Chain A
Amino acid sequence: MGIVIAVISGKGGVGKTTATANLGLGIAMNDKKCVLVDFDIGQRNLDMILGLENRVVYDMVQVMDGEANLKQALIKSKANENLHFLAASQTKDKSVLDSDKVKKLVAELKESFDFVILDAPAGIESGYEHTIEFADAAIVVVNPEVSSIRDADRAIGILDSKSAKVKEGEEVAKYLVINRIVADMVESGEMLRSEDILEILNIKLLGKIPEDRGVIDASNQGKPIILDKKSIAGQAYVRIAGRLCGQKVDMKDIEISDAGLFKKIAGIFK
């Protein structure tokens, strides 16, 4: 029986879909069976990031409505055979989602995958609520920037009140991923430090991802950045995926730039 994780954010554009694609691939690289489901109905994007847009025949709404079965709709990743993908519907709108159908789909996926990762739509409307309803855990993605953090707090509030687990008296696990950290800005006090963000949101840290120009290049090609071993963002995703798979991976301090690190080392010899 697999675990269901919703990847959420308050505001759009923080890198939620990119994080979903990379973490899914990272989990698959750890020999776990993983399925990614794009819940952003009407704004299908995960297929592009994964480079699978030409393979989409059936979408998740068609599966939920019984117009296609799971086997027909699941798309296997070109990069790793442990990774599968279920596309969002591009023609329908978010109102087609319905609790009972989502529950059934998630339950079916849980049976055949170790990890079921749901890419939530941004914001806090009904599509978002349906994505988090049956999740065992949530990964909250933010940028170190005020609007993304404030909106994330509202999304977390809704998670805490609408999750089926919470309604049953259990707790839904929540972890934060801080994306697009610029080390020298943190050092110079122009960007929020991760400790401050964790304190404000009162949430545990899953990982930090540095700003990396390669991310755009990777999405241009439909090859998630985690496949690029040299990329700093890719390495960050490898660490986070390892943590999700139960490995103990130390938090690498990416908030220190190379120049800052040199100063620190120089300080030792003073």
Chain B
Amino acid sequence: MFGFLKKKKSASLAKDRLTIAIMSDRDRTNGYPFMDEMKAEIIKVVQKYVGVKGVEIRKEIDGDMEALAIDVELDKNI
């Protein structure tokens, strides 16, 4: 009679899974709204000294610690 209590209904499972998946998507994709601008400025600064091919910025979250990982790919031809 109380069989329905044992098994979690799939809709609530979907809600839990979606909440977590979307939270991590938002962290990864949105990061900060100023990412593009910051990228352009970093390129400008580094280019004063050495050729730059591109810049990658990632927001990394590890437990309570948040960090910005900035990779600057150099252009060897310049």
Interface size on B, residues (CB 8 A): 16
Secondary structure call for the A interface = helix
Q: Within the complex, what minimum Cβ distance (angstroms) separates A47 from chain B? A: 33
Contact flags (1/0) for A189-215 with B, using CB distance below 8 Å? 111110010001100000000000000
Give the shortest distance, in Å, between A206 (CB) and chain B (any CB).
20
Determine, out of A108-116, A146-154, A224-232, A234-242, the stretch whose residues face the partner at the interface: A146-154
Q: How many residues of A contact B (CB 8 A)?
A: 17
A150 to B11, CA, bound (A): 15
* B10 lies within 8 A of A190 (CB): yes
- Say yes or no: A192-B9 contact (C-beta < 8 A), given A150-B21, A150-B25, A153-B22: no
Are A190's CB and B11's CB within 8 A? yes
Contacting residues of chain B (1-30) with chain A, CB-CB under 8 angstroms: 9-12, 14-15, 17-19, 21-22, 25-26, 29-30
Which A111-149 residues have C-beta < 8 A from chain B?
146, 149
- Contact between chains at A153 and B11 (CB < 8 Å): no
- CB contacts (< 8 Å) of B9 on chain A: these are 188-190
- Give chain B residues whose Cβ lies under 8 Å from the Cβ of A157: 26, 29-30
A186 and B11 CA atoms in complex are apart in Å by: 8
B33 touches A161 (CB 8 A): yes
Whether A189 contacts B12 by the Cβ 8 Å rule is yes
A186: B residues at CB distance < 8 A: 11
**Cα–Cα distance between A176 and B9 once the two chains are bound (Å):** 24
Pick the contact of B18: A161, A191, A200 (CB < 8 A).
A200
26 contacts across the A-B interface (CB closer than 8 A)? A146-B17, A146-B21, A149-B18, A149-B22, A150-B18, A150-B21, A150-B25, A153-B22, A153-B25, A154-B25, A157-B30, A161-B33, A186-B11, A189-B9, A189-B10, A189-B11, A190-B9, A190-B10, A190-B11, A192-B11, A192-B14, A192-B15, A196-B11, A200-B18, A200-B19, A201-B22
Interface residues of B (CB under 8 A from A): 9-12, 14-15, 17-19, 21-22, 25-26, 29-30, 33
Q: A157-B26, A190-B9 are in contact. List 12 more A-B contacts (CB 8 A).
A: A146-B14, A146-B18, A149-B22, A157-B30, A189-B12, A190-B10, A191-B11, A192-B18, A196-B15, A200-B15, A200-B19, A200-B22
